[in-house]
Structures are given as C-alpha cells and as structure tokens.
Chains A and B, each alone.
Chain A
Amino acid sequence: MSALPATRHLLGVGDLTAGDVERILDTARALSRSLDREVKKLPTLRGRLVLNLFYESSTRTLASFELAAKRLSADTMTLRAAGSSVDKGESLRDTAQTLAEYEPDVIVVRHPHIGAPKLVASATRAHVVNAGDGKHQHPTQALLDLFTIQEALGHLDGVSVAIVGDVLHSRVARSLVEALLLVGAEPVLVGPPTLIPRGIEELGCSVSHRIEEIVDVDVIYTLRMQSERMEAGAAFVPSLREYTALYGITPERVRPGQVVMHPGPMNRGIEIDPRVADSGASLVTTQVRSGLVVRMAILYDLLTAPGVGVAAVALEVA
C-alpha cells in the first residue's frame, strides 16, 4: 500500500479543530441554499457509497444521513442489527471486515457501546462517522446544534447554553459540551446531582443543580429523560413527577428572548412542557432541518480534501 494520508473520520468532537467546525458549518450554509431549489439533488457524490450501519434504533439520525447521502447523489445502503448476522453472534470486527469488501466510501455507525465506531474504523479503509456510540459521543448532533444556534443567534462565540437534564447518560450532552467549548461558547450543565457525572466540570463547563441558573442563558438545551432511569435499583431520581417539578422546562421558566432546543425524541410533559415545545422559542424543528444540511456537509467534507469544500460547494449551488 502506498503512503496515503490517514483516513479522516468523525468519531468524536475531539477529532475536530475550531477551523474544521467553521469549515463544516460554512459548507452546511452553502448546501442549505440548494434545498431551497425545486430540484434539490446535487451530483457531488455521484458514484460514492455511504453505508449506514445501525445497531440501535434511530429515526431522525438514520433518516437524515440517508437523505443527506441521496441529496448528494451517493448510493446508500442501510444495515440494521435486527435481522442481520449480528443476530447470529457475528462480532463487530467481522461484520465491519465483511462490509469493507463492498468498498464503501463512508460508514455511518450507530452502536449501543462506546468505541464501536473506532473499532469499525480500525477494521476498514472507509471514512467512519459516529452516529452515536453508547453514552460517549454523537458528534453530528453537536455540529447540527451549533449550526442551529449560529443560524438563530448569528454567532457562537460567547453564547451561553444551559444543558438541562440527564447528562450522565447523554452522548448528546458530552459532544455538545466539547463542541461549545471549541467554538468559544459557554455551557452550563443543570440537573440533579445523581444525573450529572462526577468530574465533568474538568472539561471546562460549569455545573449547577438549580433550575434558576437558566434565567441568564441564551439557549436552553433540554435533554431527553429516559424512564428506565427510575427503575428499581437505579434510583437516579425518586420520580418523574419530582424531576419535572424541579427541572421541567415550563413557560414560566423561559424568559423572552431565550431559545429552547431538544435533540428529540421529546417526552412532552416530562422534560419539556408542550407549550414550550410548540412555542416560537422552540428550535426543535429547525434542528431537524439543520441535521440534514450538516450531515450533507460532513459527508462532503470527508470525501473531499479539507479546505476546498466551501468554494466548490458554493460554485455548484450558484
């Protein structure tokens, strides 16, 4: 094998520099203009193969990766754990090596266990994108959230973001904290002590257990509260009722001028009051649209040399 440059992956926010983030968001902005046209498909990735390898259920992430690839004219193939050889006990490495023989350009991996995308990256020559690995990372979600905030507020630097809820079990929160710090925004984590991981403040974010802290922030980012956290023996919080009373995002807790985000799927009436979810302050549906263009930008960025992406896309869209 010749001395090729190392294959670029997006396994975590830690793989990105501030410059990478800026370039990807710029590309996404250029691509979003293409979605306003009557014919939305671009020929950019024609002949490329994007393989979605999903070991965990997903609606929006899978749909948006699939559509992102199709909008860029790539071929797509989706494999789910259910009904595949994984059911027959095949190891992740064997599955990855098998799929590698189809020579995919990109493999998008979602897996319930931390580090699975990294293992796939070590077993294939494809660019690997982490679409969520256990409680670890969900970098494309973090990038789409940055894009959403930038579009709504006009900038990222100095923006204060309260991330509210079950941080302990949230890959969304981990990726977002790192991404916000990377672009000069100010994350604060708000939630019950049992759902904030010990030591997380060493990342450089602040931590509070009082919902009153959200009054001063620009963005309220609500995390999904999973009911299994209340199962016997887990005892992270005594009840959903008490959780909602203490940390639920109600209209009374949202100040005019603040925006509210949620990665979905929402538990209306638990972590977010439906009146907030459906209000003008909510960016939840904007996040979905951002997800599509940001994932298009990521596929584009990985499959072209860094630095040339922005100009080339701008040219095609014009």
Chain B
Amino acid sequence: MLASRNGRLDSLTVRARVVDPGEGLDMPASVTIEEGIVTAVDAVASAPAGLVLAPAFVDPHVHLRTPGREDEETIASGTAAAAAGGYCAIVAMPNTDPVVDTAPVLRALVEQALEEAVVPTGFTAAISKGQRGEELTEMAELAAAGAIAFTDDGRPVASAGLMQRALAYSAVADRPLALHCEEPTLSRDGQMHEGAVSAELGLAGWPSVAESLMVERDLSLAGYERRPIHLQHLSARASVDAVRRARALGVRVSAEATPHHLCATDELVRTLDANAKMNPPLGGEDDRRALVEGLLDGTVDCIATDHAPHARHEKDVPFEQAPFGVTGLETAFAALNTFLVREGEVPLAVALDRLSAGPARALGLPVPRIAVGEPANVVLFDLEAEWTVSEAGFRSRSANSWLLGQTLVGSVVKTVAAGRVVFSA
C-alpha cells in the first residue's frame, strides 16, 4: 500500500523522445495527460534535443529516518528528494527508532505519509522484533496494516533457523522478504572492501564473501521453502553469480544494486572521505563489472538507491568513526547516465527498466507505464544537461552524497507521480 498527500490531478502535454522499455516504445511523441491519466501518446516528427520522457522511477530501498531521526530526514523532505530524482514511488525501510515492528507504528507512518508525502510511499516492517533477529514480528497484522515487504535491513538475520521460519511464515502475510545479506562473523569490524586498497590504507577489510555466503544461504532457504525473496544492495561478483544460478533452478528472487556500487569502486575510499563509506562497502572493479553484467542480463532487476541520510556532524569525522551510508535519491539517474549510459556500459532502456518496472514488479507495486488509460507516472529529463552536485541543491535534509562536487550529465526536468506534478525544475 502506497500513501501520499492529496492534491489536484494535473493536466499537461509533453513532447519528447518517449522511452518505455516495457511498452517497446522509443520514439518522438506527444504525450497528453488529462486529470492525471494518460489520454494520448501520439507519434511526432521530432522532439526537443535531449528531452526524454520515461516511466517514473520506483525506489525499493529508502531510509526516511522517521520516526526518530527527523533531523536527518522526514517523510516530507525524503519524498521531495524522491520527486526531484524522478521517482513516482518509494519504499521506506523499518530500521527507525522505534523500529517498525508493530501495526500501530506502521499505521502512524501511513497516516503521516497521507499528510506529507509528496510521492507515494510504501513502508516495510521488520522481520524480527526490534530487528534483534530473535522473534518474528506479527507479519499478518503488519501486512494488513500496509507493509509492502518485511526486512531487517541495516542488519542481517544472522540465524539460519529464524530465517527459515520467517520465510515459511511470510506465506501467511503474502509479502516478500527483503534481505540484507551479511554474515556478521565475517564482516566483523570491517570498514571497507577487503582487497589491495584496504591492505594499503590499513582500514579493516570487509570480505566480499561475507555477503555472498549469506546470499547463498538465503537462496537455499528460499528454494527450500518455495518463497520469494528480494536481495538488497548486492555488491559482490559471487553474489550475482549465485542469484543467476538460483534463478535458473527456479528460485523466485529479485535483486538490487545501488548506483554507487554500479558506478564506483573501493578506489574512492582512498579519499578517506566518510561519504565513501557504505554497507555493504564499495567493491573492487571486478565486482562492479559483475553488477553491470547482472544489470544487463536481468539477474540484477532493480536499481535501489539505499538512500541513507546522515547528519553532517556524524559524517565529518575520521572514516572509522563515521556511520555507513550515503544519500542517493537526487543523484541516482544522473550518476547512472554519466558513468554507465554515456560510457556505453549500459543502454538507456536497460537503466530505465531497472529503475522502474524492475523494482515495481519485485515488490508487487503497480508498474509505471506510458500508455493510454494509465495513471500518469512519468519523468521528463534532459539527457545532456550538466550540473554540479552541491549541498545547497539537495531537497533531502542530509547531504552525505558520495558525488559532492562532481559534475554529472542528465537532469530531471519534471516528475509526475500518481497523476500529479510533484517536481518541476
């Protein structure tokens, strides 16, 4: 269930190159939206250079920090950031304070989203009470209260036994489990990807097998229980390989990669800038290549930002003392366009599919489509526009972006979510 504040349904006409991979559409067209519904898609001879209209994005993985850390993000600021990034729907993680592990907490969030969410927002609930990995949450009641999925994101479900029970029981709630795969006895006090760069810098290494071993475990359990799982923020080649093998064997699995794992590597940590610190950490170039290959062949079917706002004073400290996580909603498309699409690594249509239809399908949300009769969920962007990422430009309450100061190519011009114009540059 997605919630957002009410508003007037908009009417507008847009002439642009229209790209909807799901509809097999890539042509100059004029798209008419009347009171929030697409009423015409008419081919035209030409469109303004650089302008592309596509299905708006769906982010399966956002931290809105509400309740508990409203100084870092609120539903209002996080969804404004999402609108500016071209998103028509986002899904928030439950690792808040308190944790979203009971129906009353979840209902309060849904009500708050009805008041202040600019973009339709869904909420997930925890797999285990307090995300402590000990007892299951009341999944059926939480699903009835609107939980999109269940996840202990931020930390793994360390116990294989509890994971098996969670998978089996999730059938009652009829929602997927979204899994943060990390074997804690391997990641230990790791600060960055274990490899030549960590060896040189002296930062404690986080071996990629800490992720892939847990991916293998959860794929085995999901196959055994015949339940769907959604794997969050993959970062390692071995994880992508494991997903590909499991899917071929019939395991129902969807998988995310973040723009930062797709575009950057552990080399970025040489700056010792705490905005290069994420969980899971940025991998090596071989891992990055594997994620791109996974994106291309569909093994990785979702791009998720894992937008993780942090207060400035908590990131402006030596690397090891800083919390994990970076923001991403407002830079995702431009980063992908700059580092992957323009570099020829990923076709635009593939990036657009993994930003929109992929995550919508993975979490059972409506797939944004540009077709007559559909609700308008579209993003208009300028593929050629250059801009420099700066703290002042963010709608998010936090500015812990790994891209600060970088010049990116591609900017969002307009976002229409659920028939309403939610962002105009």
Contacts and interface: CB of A to CB of B under 8 A. Distances in A.
Say whether A and B bind each other: yes
B318 A119 contact: yes
Interface stretch (B198-206, B234-242, B392-400): B198-206
Interface centre among A92, A93, A114 (most CB of B within 10 A): A114
A113 B320 contact: yes
A202 B202 contact: no
Contacts of A198: 194-195, 199, 205, 207
Contact of A93 (B194, B198, B202, B316): B316
B199 A199 contact: yes
B123 interface: no
Query: What is the predominant secondary structure among interface residues of chain A facing chain B?
Result: mixed
Nearest to A116: B318
14 contacts: A91-B316, A91-B317, A92-B317, A93-B316, A113-B320, A114-B272, A115-B318, A119-B316, A133-B318, A135-B204, A136-B203, A137-B202, A197-B202, A202-B199
Interface in A96-123: 111, 113-116, 118-119
A171 interface: yes
B205 A114 contact: no
Interface centre among B197, B202, B317, B321 (most CB of A within 10 A): B202
B202 A92 contact: no
B319 interface: yes
A159 interface: no
A87 to B, nearest CB: 16
Given A136-B201, A197-B205, A198-B199, A115 B316 contact: no
Nearest to A122: B316
B400 to A, nearest CB: 15
Contact of A199 (B194, B203, B320): B194
A116 B321 CA distance: 10
Contacts of A91: 313, 316-317
Contact of B272 (A93, A115, A174, A202): A115
A254 interface: no
B200 A200 contact: yes
B317 to A, nearest CB: 6
Contacts of A134: 202, 318, 320
Interface of B: 194-205, 207, 272, 313, 316-321
Interface of A: 91-93, 111, 113-116, 118-119, 133-137, 171, 174, 197-200, 202-203
Contacts of B319: 113-115
B173 to A, nearest CB: 36
Contacts of B313: 91
B198 A111 contact: no
Contacts of A116: 318
Interface centre among B195, B199, B207 (most CB of A within 10 A): B199
A111 to B, nearest CB: 7
Nearest to A11: B272
Contacts of A136: 201-203
Given A115-B319, A134-B320, A200 B199 contact: yes
Contacts of B321: 113
Contacts of B195: 198-199
Nearest to A167: B199
B196 A114 contact: no
B200 A119 contact: no
B318 A200 contact: no
Which 7 residue pairs across A and B have the least CB separation, nearest first? A135-B202, A115-B272, A197-B199, A199-B196, A113-B318, A202-B196, A200-B199
Interface centre among B200, B203, B316, B317 (most CB of A within 10 A): B200
A199 B201 CA distance: 11
Contact of B203 (A92, A93, A114, A118): A114
B81 to A, nearest CB: 26
B202 A171 contact: yes
Contacts of B201: 114, 136
B318 A197 contact: no
